[in-house]
Structure 1
């Protein structure tokens, strides 16, 4: 296929983030929900610069002219990104300044400077600044090294942190001017909140610092100031070929990120020329890396306004996770899994059954062993607590902690040390690969034989994100699934060759090959005049081989429906190879995260859940799992989820030929996928509660 048949990955991602921002632009949405989506779009953009722009910058610096599947070199991609991102940032700040800020003021939520608040509040603000902010500030003096060889080297300023640059001089001595940097560490709250009557004022801490600068430098005057933020390259990988101590190597990677090259410099408008010149000298930012921002920096910090107390009418109605109707909590979780496969679709279904499996296993005398892969975990994790308790109770506990989970490396290092101290056998991933599989195996002795209980999922073992991300998972005691789980763990922890599995399809050894076989089988059926279809839900589609196979299947007449939240390098349209492909993206209250694949297969409807997206990195460079669904009821539930996305006329966007998006138009009959799935979960839970309340079960004598 020519490069014109594909969409550039980075530009496709920016269009995804534009869809996120579009949720903040919708006037019918509750105000604080709109603020939340604006903050999410800013947070997404921060990571994009750290990782994707960081990686491309390294390639450009190395002189690489290798083209991506869309035919663009690293330099061409960086130029295209800057042009598109500049418009994206303009959209963010136009929305904030012209719409959201005035709307917040109307609701008496005032994001204000000290000068704009009621004068009666200034003394209170000064007192709070002295008590809450001042003790945590650590100013860094700057010396111009270009004029003095003996001067101290330029300071290394922290990344992703607001920094106030102040031009000061001793009072009445104008020639004594100097520049001082005041970093605002993450332990300092971004806003100082203060109430007066029904009004709430939120004062940015950077404004407080400038207003009360005399408390920090009592003998000096402030001539000018500027607020800026540095984004450094976060795409720094451990050199595994030379790594003897992987944990130690990861600590070096974390340290290297603190001093890596600048990939973005944000400077708040109004910054004086003197201050901006100094900032450029210190950060070594190239002109094309500088973004002048007309508004407050770090809009991601505005997420806190979505959760301020009160103002419930300005927030979306909170949906509550439901108890899965297939589980009777009066029984042991092992008894429930033994009866049938249990399907969970979080967060419509509570994550509690997964946690309960581990907590019950930790104290169950019949449990011999627990094995689990941890990629990202919650801050205060009940799962970690259960694993520690299991080890203390004498269980054999083996945990693979993936240290290469980007931006979670530090937390995972601490978690691994904590588990290791408790006696848990720790494995630090697999050399050359990231372990992204979501799998738990509990081995129990029952009736003098071994029985295996498994959990397979599409999302992380993280109780916090399980309330925010949609993910599918199953709990099963099927013998063949348990056997495969043991083989997979033995291969991962023992670093041995993975033998042929019966059911589970792992990457990088089997998954991609099987997906291509399934796509090509549908193409062959369509060519023979049979009904053929593919429906898939993934976060991203980038792998060229998968895209080409889908194009070929489309040409043969296969009906292909793709629900892709983020990156989509496949180019839809009326061309012959794409005419039978429909691509939509759903952006809503929950982050769409589940990966579900279904192939018509002559009416058998082969259905899978997976930890992997259809990206080359997932299919060829990570340990991932694709799990077939055997139970007919679970298969039907997944089919309903897949179909619901294509009925959505409230939150769905259609991906266009150029990679841009178009919101699916409202029809007479309103349908919102997430709302429908929540209502379905609530109805099923209520029905099951009524059934249990009206069913009487007699105790039977034991044999």
Structure 2
């Protein structure tokens, strides 16, 4: 269902006014019928000359667009081309995404409303109208999510022998085992809290599983029954597989922790009658607030904020749908929430915790076929990485090409006596990271190691503080970046002495130095010894660690200084070619597009006749297909097995194509509030290969969604005589080696 009221239907081409919804069963999106002749371009431009590019009707709302991306993820749970457990995983990812959406985006809107900060965005929507639209859509999609779980996925899993057992179907042996598990594992760590004047409502942790219990009778102290809260122990799994000997033949059988607590609720209140026991979960504001002008020690300030995050203001209350109204109303009052914040759910309130079951399952036939990441031919030689990279640029495309190449290079650098210094940025990385281990080894061996760690990487703050301590203990120089700007750039700089002179090496990427996400996210990694590029990386590191005016860079674009201005210039340059009658095209692939001046530059390019192909995975505030403004712009979103994360920008440039990769999305925060890098692919063969990758994405008709002028997305499907093309599968076969 498209977001209502965002665009007057009278302004749409007649061929695009139908709404076919977002079902995976939709037909292929009709091609836009646009007059691309220069006369037609000039006529449309003239007709729209008086229309300001600040017109609110040319923009989608950021929050609504973000929510629509989460809905596209949910749609994957209905797509039978995915293996069954992967479909369940998509549904659980939707839950996890929605949690963060409420913790950050909805929390921000509620804070604005609470302080009377009623803003009108570039899309013309007020804060209140956006909140109401989000609330309505989120309620509809949560209800739909549980409907998919209960009517599609659980029955399909049961057909495959995977069962989630409710209390009423436990047999005698299973019930006896559950009783023992409760006595041995749950009872010792559970702490029910009766509510009375001496026991006020407890302060519950963000997103924790809890139960509200209605009681009748008198307790040991003569207190009349009323209500109690049971916080589920956070140390226990939410889903427990029964012992093999208790499972029916050919089945995997699981029991929910919530079912065990429900079954034994009266044991927690001896002598009293439990009239009802209902699960609920509170989502709180989890955005950290650190005043960069007042903080003298960022790490210490963040540690304090991390404790506060667990108990921020409530923003959403999820309650079992059989909970009586008077109890849900009581909870809403406790958390100072309104009816619009209440979500009644038909199933577990903490679905994302079920991901552990998928990871532990041995039903590999219901998962994606595993693959072994490939290694470029140049790196298969039995030679030093420095020898290979010293002779040629190497570009990796993760996850189809191995992230282990970078870990191995760092490990080699740590051992190599010729290596003098290593500098690296870390935004997100694993707790058991091979990258960090190599940096620790290098520091302990006496090399000059400098690491710029971004402590404020959202939801990774605690891990990054621990990593910083580990590196400092090893003797590395640890820098927390620049206070007012998050360091989001992905850079590695290695200094080596070779034949009596200093040689520089660098790695730059679009993704984080994280071995686990490198198996799930698509990202480019460039390994180079080009003197000018390495010198640029060196200058950026000097700027991060020292002070002074921005350092000049030969090739590298650098936010917040040169990146935004240069991107606008590159788009405008393409428009200039179009106005002269030359072929003019550009392709932008990134995660989000929200920055107004970049959007306006794309509108100007479209008006000039530039064919603009945008591959925007998530949030997109640009409105395509507006006659005379954006009818040369197409926007598609690829949602599939891997999370699309590459940021790649291609400009035809009058027949001298340029391809850039970046750590930055087309967002205000990336352009002006973060340290980012954008690097050109100077090797022509590598640049051509990336252009071919982009072409593959443009051909996708299996996992591609096309943004329509009215704001909804249509799933592309192969036509009757059209071959099915999945970009991710095509690239997998092209780059990765099958086991």
Same fold (TM over 0.5): yes
Larger mean Cα displacement after TM superposition, 195-204 or 667-676 = 195-204
Query: What is the match of residue 676 of structure 1?
Result: 730
Partner secondary structure for residue 578 of structure 1: coil
Paired residues of 1:117 and 1:201 also in contact (CA < 8 A): no
Query: What is the match of residue 46 of structure 1?
Result: 99
CA distance in 2, matches of 1:653, 1:306: 27
Query: What is the match of residue 168 of structure 1?
Result: 215
1:445 counterpart (497, 500, 507): 497
CA distance in 2, matches of 1:496, 1:360: 34
Partner secondary structure for residue 128 of structure 1: helix
Paired residues of 2:239 and 2:354 also in contact (CA < 8 A): no
Larger mean Cα displacement after TM superposition, 271-280 or 413-422 = 271-280
Partner secondary structure for residue 736 of structure 2: helix
1:116 counterpart (146, 164, 169): 169
Paired residues of 1:224 and 1:275 also in contact (CA < 8 A): no
CA distance in 2, matches of 1:581, 1:266: 40
Partner secondary structure for residue 390 of structure 2: helix
1:190 correspondence with 2:250: no
Paired residues of 1:171 and 1:221 also in contact (CA < 8 A): no
Query: What is the match of residue 98 of structure 1?
Result: 151
Paired residues of 2:239 and 2:357 also in contact (CA < 8 A): no
Written as runs of structure 1 = structure 2, the 5 A alignment for 1:111-510 is 111-143=164-196, 145=197, 151-169=198-216, 176-194=224-242, 195=244, 196=247, 197-510=249-562
The TM-score with structure 1 as length reference comes to 0.94
1:520 correspondence with 2:572: yes
CA distance in 1, matches of 2:311, 2:569: 46
Provide closer, same or farther for how the CA distance between residues 129 and 329 of structure 1 changes in structure 2, counting only shifts above 3 A: farther
CA distance in 1, matches of 2:376, 2:216: 66
Partner secondary structure for residue 378 of structure 2: coil
**Structure 2 gaps, min length 5:** 1-52
Deviations 1:625-670 (A, max 9, x none): 0001001121011111111111111111111112211111213212
**Structure 1 stretches (4+) deviating beyond 6 angstroms?**
171-175
Larger mean Cα displacement after TM superposition, 117-126 or 595-604 = 117-126
Partner secondary structure for residue 377 of structure 2: coil
CA distance in 2, matches of 1:439, 1:570: 30
**Structure 1 gaps, min length 5:** 146-150, 687-703
Paired residues of 1:225 and 1:275 also in contact (CA < 8 A): no
CA distance in 2, matches of 1:355, 1:636: 26
Partner secondary structure for residue 176 of structure 1: coil
Provide closer, same or farther for how the CA distance between residues 218 and 324 of structure 1 changes in structure 2, counting only shifts above 3 A: farther
Deviations 1:322-369 (A, max 9, x none): 122231351111111111111000000000111012111111111111
C-alpha RMSD over aligned residues = 1.8
Paired residues of 1:36 and 1:305 also in contact (CA < 8 A): no
TM superposition shift of 1:675: 0.8
TM superposition shift of 1:302: 2.7
1:15 correspondence with 2:68: yes
Partner secondary structure for residue 694 of structure 2: helix
Written as runs of structure 1 = structure 2, the 5 A alignment for 1:588-603 is 588-603=640-655
TM superposition shift of 1:83: 1.1
Query: What is the match of residue 638 of structure 2?
Result: 586
Partner secondary structure for residue 24 of structure 1: helix
Paired residues of 1:523 and 1:532 also in contact (CA < 8 A): yes
CA distance in 1, matches of 2:332, 2:594: 36
The TM-score with structure 2 as length reference comes to 0.89
CA distance in 2, matches of 1:153, 1:659: 47
Provide closer, same or farther for how the CA distance between residues 497 and 131 of structure 1 changes in structure 2, counting only shifts above 3 A: farther
TM superposition shift of 1:565: 0.5
Paired residues of 1:609 and 1:627 also in contact (CA < 8 A): yes
Provide closer, same or farther for how the CA distance between residues 141 and 419 of structure 1 changes in structure 2, counting only shifts above 3 A: farther
Partner secondary structure for residue 327 of structure 1: helix
Paired residues of 1:225 and 1:272 also in contact (CA < 8 A): no
CA distance in 2, matches of 1:658, 1:132: 54
Larger mean Cα displacement after TM superposition, 631-640 or 192-201 = 192-201
Paired residues of 1:371 and 1:441 also in contact (CA < 8 A): yes
CA distance in 1, matches of 2:481, 2:193: 39
Provide closer, same or farther for how the CA distance between residues 364 and 25 of structure 1 changes in structure 2, counting only shifts above 3 A: same
Paired residues of 2:225 and 2:272 also in contact (CA < 8 A): no
Deviations 1:550-587 (A, max 9, x none): 01100100001001100010011142111111111110
CA distance in 2, matches of 1:185, 1:534: 53
